[in-house]
Amino acid sequence: MAENDRQTERDAMVQDQIVARGVKDEAVLRAMRKVPRHKFVPQEYEQDAYSDSPLPLGHRQTISQPYIVAFMSEAAQLRPTDKVLEIGTGSAYQTAVLAELAKEIYTIEIIDPLGLKAKGLLHELRYENAHVRIGDGYEGWKENAPFDVIFVTAAPNHIPEPLVEQLKVGGRFIIPVGSERQELVRIAKTESGLVQEALLRVSFVPMTGAAKEQK
């Protein structure tokens, strides 16, 4: 399909896959209409970039289904002044959506080739507020903590304590937790502790690195 037709595809994706399922946040919908998902998928899957499904990235990783990206972004209740930590950059599609919604995005990818590609693509698309680190995200990014929002896009079997520590009081933490099928959880950090809410059954790739060594 011609390059100049892809906006029509994005508009249809948002209307048919996202609005139709109940996502209402106008800022999220604008971001989903704007970010060119076809730039973030491997070339052999470009024709399917706006389909209602995750797609393979290689390295046993996937780019999330558009609806899940939008749902998580809305659930985070992002504000233009927020500083966000993302664990699991992957293709950087979610990163780009976050960069449209928040002030600064700090994102960590454990797989070197994906991290390097993501860094180059975010630079090419002029997302100068997105900062990429290659490494294990389990310990977070302490020198830039605390964060208003923490996003995790791979599934550990528990909630990583180092990430909880780097979340501001009043902050939101969005994370899939579990093994083969997971629960997407939103955690609010309050003065008196954590308030946890189950949002949706999901299926993410497992979180690797130090997460696998913890219980």
Q: Is 51 a catalytic residue?
A: no
HEC profile of the chain? CCHHHHHHHHHHHHHHHHHHHCCCCHHHHHHHHHCCHHHHCCHHHHHHCCCCCCEEEECCEEECCHHHHHHHHHHCCCCCCCEEEEECCCCCHHHHHHHHHCCEEEEEECCHHHHHHHHHHHHHCCCCCEEEEECCHHHCCHHHCCEEEEEECCECCCCCHHHHHCEEEEEEEEEEEECCCEEEEEEEEECCEEEEEEEEEECCCECCHHHHHCC
Q: Identify the pLDDT of residue 4.
A: 58
Query: Model-level pTM?
Result: 0.94
Of the residues 51, 64, 73, 179, only one is catalytic, namely 64
Q: Tens-digit pLDDT profile for the chain (215 aa)?
A: 445 569 999 999 999 999 999 999 999 999 999 999 999 999 999 999 999 999 999 888 899 999 999 999 999 999 999 999 999 999 999 999 999 999 999 999 999 999 999 999 999 999 999 999 999 999 999 999 999 999 999 999 999 999 999 999 999 999 999 987 799 999 999 999 999 999 999 988 889 888 876 65
